[in-house]
Amino acid sequence: MPYWLMKSEPDELSIHDLQRLGQTRWDGVRNYQARNFLRGMQSGDLFFFYHSSCPEPGIAGIASISRAAYADPTALDPHSHYFAAKASSEKNPWSAVDVAFVEAFSRIIPLAELKTLNALQELPLVHKGSRLSVMPVSAEQWTTILALR
């Protein structure tokens, strides 16, 4: 079973929001590389929930994929912040998944700490200027990060 990492701005959706909701749709991904990773996800896959663009960027917990990729409805909604003018119901290039809460860490594992670990050097998250918001995590990387909780 593959592992993943996904970024969310906690102002939009934090791990605690997801804890309260139990489950929600993960939509608004508008980058093809990230979308392709979304499409590779299967129900039951686990991912690290990363808080971005906030005072304490880092990994905040774990969630799971509860529904595999499907057409992202926000791309077709003119009122949505994620509206994609070129998308249509016949041809919607964007995908969403549903996610379910698994665990909120007792502390945020800061990006600065992740960057110090040799075992994570291949993880795009720690690369300077990395903007990829959905990425695979190897079993070794997963274990390394879990040990930091």
Number of residues that bind DNA (CB under 7 A): 20
The only residue of 21, 32, 39, 107 in contact with DNA, by rule CB under 7 A: 32
Asked if residue 61 binds DNA (CB under 7 A), the reply is no
Instruction: Please identify which residue in the block is written with the tokens 């499409």.
Output: 39
SS3 66: strand
Q: Which residue in the set 130, 139, 140, 149 belongs to the binding site for DNA (CB under 7 A)? A: 130
Selected binder of DNA within 2, 25, 54, 144 (CB under 7 A): 54
Residue 77 CA to residue 33 CA, distance in Å, equals 22
Using CB under 7 A as the binding rule, whether residue 149 contacts DNA is answered as no
Element (H, E) at 64: strand 58-71
Query: Cβ of residue 56: shortest distance to DNA, in angstroms?
Result: 9
Name residues contacting DNA, limited to 4-23 (CB under 7 A): 7, 9
Report long-range pairs for 111-118 (Cβ below 8 Å, ≥24 apart). Answer: 111/57, 111/58, 113/58, 113/148, 114/58, 114/59, 114/145, 114/148, 117/144
* Chain contacts with DNA (rule: CB under 7 A): 7, 9, 30-33, 52-54, 57, 111-112, 115, 127-133
